[in-house]
Amino acid sequence: MSSSNSQLYAKNPASAKWILASNNQGKLAELKRLFAEADLDITVTPQGELNIEDAIEDGLSFVENAIIKARHASRIGGLPAIADDSGLCVPALGNAPGIYSARYAGEHGNDAKNNAKLIKELQPLRMQQPDQSIKGMFVCVLAMVRHADDPLPIIAQGLWQGEILEAPQGDNGFGYDPLFWLPELQTTAACMDAADKNRLSHRGQAIGQLLSQLLS
């Protein structure tokens, strides 16, 4: 650990314990693995284990919602907290579904309905320009606060560029992965194995940026 990072921890003895403002076990496992690889002695606990309910995500951007979730968890838990906000942006749709990705079709977490709505919304565009691919990008913003009122949150952002298919391909992953085509790999995110996806994904990129900031 660098001297500047060591000083950060020395100023706050509790800072080696963080709250993950989520109960997603996949996110938790990925953070733990990458922190261990970077030799960061940080224990990350999902907020549910501390009886912290989900924050009200009323921001208008990924950055705002990530900060809202991190501050909420830190305020209740009394520890540094890290949160992410992520989703799919399609420029041709004004960057929809964006922050509403998980509830695009009105029911939170219904991947099948969300994918079906995205396909339907893109049909008129495909009819107008049948020979052009439709670009899309997965976005992940991570926010880390040392305390609930931290005026200088650490912000890291990852963007994963791709194209949106007309029909799903693949059974792995979740969300919009079956529609997210990677031309350079000739596959969808839903056809990739977990290790490759974690290495290339928007979340993997954001975590890499976060580690770089922590170790600088």
Catalytic residue, candidates 41, 58, 85, 111: 85
**What CATH number corresponds to the domain at position 141?**
3.90.950.10
- Distance (Å, rounded) from C-alpha 13 to C-alpha 16? 7
Residue range(s) defining the domain that contains residue 53: 3-214
Q: Is the pLDDT of residue 191 over 60?
A: yes
- Distance (Å, rounded) from C-alpha 151 to C-alpha 161? 31
Annotation marks residue 196 as catalytic? no
Tens-place pLDDT, residues 110-154 = 999 999 999 999 999 999 999 999 999 999 999 999 999 999 999
- Distance (Å, rounded) from C-alpha 74 to C-alpha 72? 6
> Which positions ≥6 away from 175 have C-beta within 8 Å?
88, 101, 102, 111, 114
The tally of domains found in the chain comes to 1
Tens-place pLDDT, residues 74-111 = 999 999 999 999 999 999 999 999 999 999 999 988 99
